Chain A
Amino acid sequence: MITAPESPAVIETNPFPHWFQREQAAALADYESTPAPTRRDEAWRFASLKALDLSAFVPAPEIASEGKLINASTGLGDFAARFVFGNNALVHHEAPALPEGVIVEPLDVAAYEHEALFRAYFMAQPVELGSHKYARLHKAMLTGGVLVHVPKNVEVALPIELFYWVEGENSSVFPHTLIVLGDNAKVTVIDHFKSADGARAFACGINDFHLGRGSQLTYAAVQDWSRDTLAFHLNSTLVGRDATATALLANFGGGYVRGESLSKLAHDGGRSVMLSMNLADGTREIDQHTLQDHAAKHASSDLLYQNVVDDAARTIFAGIIRVQEGESQTDAYQRVRNLLLTDDAIAVSMPGLEILNDDVRCTHGATSGGLDPDELFYMQARGISKKLAARLIVAGRFNSLVERIDNEALRDRLRAVIADRLGV
C-alpha cells in the first residue's frame, strides 16, 4: 500500500511544508524497519494478528460523494466549529461561534501558520502501548487532521464537531485531532469516524490532547467505521496542573479495532476520566490498552470501560495503573464491565498495577456476566420483548457513561447516537 513520500505522486499531493515532509519520509523508513507485532509481544498477546495484514489497502482516492457526506455530517444543533474530512481531505468547514484567538485549523495549514505550536505538540507524546509501528505509519501518511488550540483563559461555550469519513474499497485514512489548551482554557470536542459506503477500509487515527494548568477538556469519539475496517485509534492525554480531562470513546463499528489510551498525570492536582463504551458484535474484535500514568501528587484518574459482547465477537482489555516513585496521595480507579450476550462471546480482561509508592488509593477490577434474568423478566412483564429488553439494557449501560459528560448538548447527542445504533 505504501507509496514512499519521495515519489512524485506523494510530493504533489502532500500539503505539508518540506521540513515536515522530510520527517514523514523518516517516519516511513522507521515504520518499515519496525518489526510487525508478534504473539510474543505482551501488548499483542491476545490480538488476532492476521487482522493486521495491510497489503490490500491503498491510498484513499478523492472523495466521490462530497455533497452527500457534508449533508450527512450533522450532529449537534449548535456548534462552535464543524470540520468535515472525506478520505483525508477537508471537504467542509465552518466556524460560526469561535471566540477570538481560538485556532481550529487543518493540520497542514497549522504546520505553516502555527509552526511553533505544531512543532511543540504534534505527536510529542511517545506511543507506548504497542502500536508505535502504526503511529509511524500514521505520521508518514498524514495529510488531514485538525489542530484545536484554545488560548489561556478562553472558554469555548459550544462544542467543536469533527467528522472523518472514509469512502471506497480498501481506502486508507489517517484522522488526527490535536487539542492544545492554554491555562484555564475550556473546550468540548466530538470526533465522528464514519464510513460513507460500508466498504472495507483502513483507519489509523491519532488523538493527542495537551491540557494546560487548570484547563478542562471534554472529549467524545464515536467510532462507526464499516464492519470490515481495520482501525487503530491511539490516544494520549497529558494533563496539566489542576486540569481535568474527560474522554469518552465509543466503539460501534470496525472489524479489528485497536484502541490505545494513555493519560499522563504529570502535574499535581490533575484529573483524567477515561470512559469507553464498546459494542462488539458479529466477529468484531475490540482490543484496548490503557495506561493511567501518575507522575504527580494529588492526581486522580478514573477509568470505566463498558464492553458489550454479542455473537462471536471479542473484547480485550489490558489496563495498567502506574504510580511513579515519590508520587503520593494519588487516587486511581479502573473498572471494566463486560456484558456477554452469547455463549460464544469472549471478553479478556487484564487489569494491572505498577505501584512504586504506598500513599496511594487504587482500586481496579473487571466483572463479566450475562444479562440479569430478573431484570429481563421485569421488562418483559411490561410487554417488552426479550430482544428489545436486551437492547434497552445495553443502551442503559452506555447511557450511564454518558451521564459523566458535563456538556448537555453533547450528552443529548451521544444518547441519540446510542439509541440509533441500538434501535431503541
Chain B
Amino acid sequence: MKAPPLEQSPELVSLRRVLDESAAVPVLLFFATGVLWLLAGTVFGLLTSLKFDMPDWLAAIPALTFGRLRPAHLNAVNYGWASLAGAGCLLWLTSRLCMTPVRLRGGLIASVILWNLGVLYGTGAVLLGYGGSVEWLEYPLPAAAMIGAAFLLFAASILQTFRMRSVQHLYVSLWYTVACVVWFPFLYVAANLPIYSGVVHGAVNWWYGHNALAVWFTPIGLALAYYFIPKVIGRPIYSYYLSLLGFWSFALFYNWNGIHHLVGGPVPNWLQTISIIASVLMVIPVMAVAVNHHLTTVGHFRHLRSSPTLRFTVFGAMCYTAVSFQGSLESLRGMQEVVHFTHYTVGHAHLGVYAFLTMILFGAMYYITPRVARWNWPHPGLIKLHFWLTAGGISIYVIAMCTGGILQGYAMNESVRPFAQVIDLTRPWLIARSASGILITGGHLVFAYLFAQMLIHAGPRRETAPWEEAAA
C-alpha cells in the first residue's frame, strides 16, 4: 500500500528511527519475558482444562492439582503475559505519539526485572500452596508489592515521556494510556490492603477483579486498536467526537460494574442494582468505540489480507464489541440466575482477555517488534498459521464454554436433577474446550518460535525494511 507522502518525509523517517532506538531495549525485554509467561500460562491453562476431562491424571502431585493450576494460569497470563506485553506496547506507542524518545529507561529495566520476579514469586507461591484464594489477588503480599513497585516505575516512564512530548495534539490512544497508568496503581494498592473481611472483602475482590479489566487491560487494548486500525489503513479515525464520548463514558461507567459478580449473593441489593445499571450503560462507550473502529475499517477490508497487524487487531476489536454486549446482558438478573457460577463466565472472561486483548497484543507486536528489533518477520506463512490456530481455537473455546455453561445453568436450576447429571451434561463441552486449548497452544508455540527468530535475527532476510514504511 502507498502511504501518504508526508508520512515518508526523510525527517520523519529518521525521527522515527531515533524514537524506536530509544524504545528498543525496554520494549524487547517486556515482550520477551511476556512471551515466556504466555508459554508458561498456556501450559497451566491446558493442564487445568485437561484435569476436568481426566481428574485422575497427575493426581498425586500437589502442585499440579486443579485448585492450584487454575490460579497459576490466571495470574501468569494476566500479570505475566498480558501486562508485560501490554506495557511494552504502551511504551512504544507513547514515544511515537508524543514524538519524543522513551524516558527513564534505567527505571524501565529495573521495572522489567522486578515485575518478572514478582510474577515468578507469586506464581510459584500459588503452585506451592501459598495462594490467597481470592481470585485475581492470589499473590502473597511481597509478590504484589514487587509488581506494584514495578508498575510505578513503568508509569513514571510513561508520564515522563508524556511530559516531554513535542506535539500539540494528544491522540485518543494517549488518553487511554495516560489514564490507565494513573488508575491502576490506586486500584492495585487499595485491593491488596490486608484489612478486609467477610462480605466487604467479597465486594473489594470483585471491584478489583472487574476493574483490572476496566482500568488496565481494556485501556491497553483500546489504545492499541485506536492507533493501529487507522495507521495500517492509512486514514484518520472516523470521528473525534465519538472518541471523546467513548472515553469519558468508559471512565464513568466501567468502574462501577464489579458487583455484578455477586448478583444474588449476600451483598446489599442496592449495590447489585447499581452495578447492573452501570453494566448496561456500558453500551454507550462500547457503541462509540465500535462505530468509530468499524467506520474507519469499512471499505478497506482488503488490508486484512496483507497486514497481520490489522487482521489480529480487527479480530480483537470485533471481539471487544462482542464481549462488551455479552457482559451487559450477562449482568441482568434473569441471565445471572442461570449462568452465574457456570462455565459461561469462564467463556466470557476468555472472550475478553484472549479474543479481544491478547489478539490485539499479537497484532501490535507484529507491528512493533520489527521496528525495535530491526529485523523483518521470517516466514509469513507461519504468521497466518498463528492467526488461524488462535482465532479458530478461541472461537471454539468461547462457543463451547458459553453453550456448555448455559446448559449447566439450566440443569442446576432444575432442582429435581441430581448434581451428578449436571456434571455429565458439561463433559463434552469441556472436552471441546480442551481441544481448543490444544489449538491455542499450537498457535503460541508458532508465535514464540517466530519471536525468538526476531530476537536473534535468524531466518531468511526479507527485502523490505518495515521500519522505513509508514504502514505494515
Q: Do A and B assemble together?
A: no
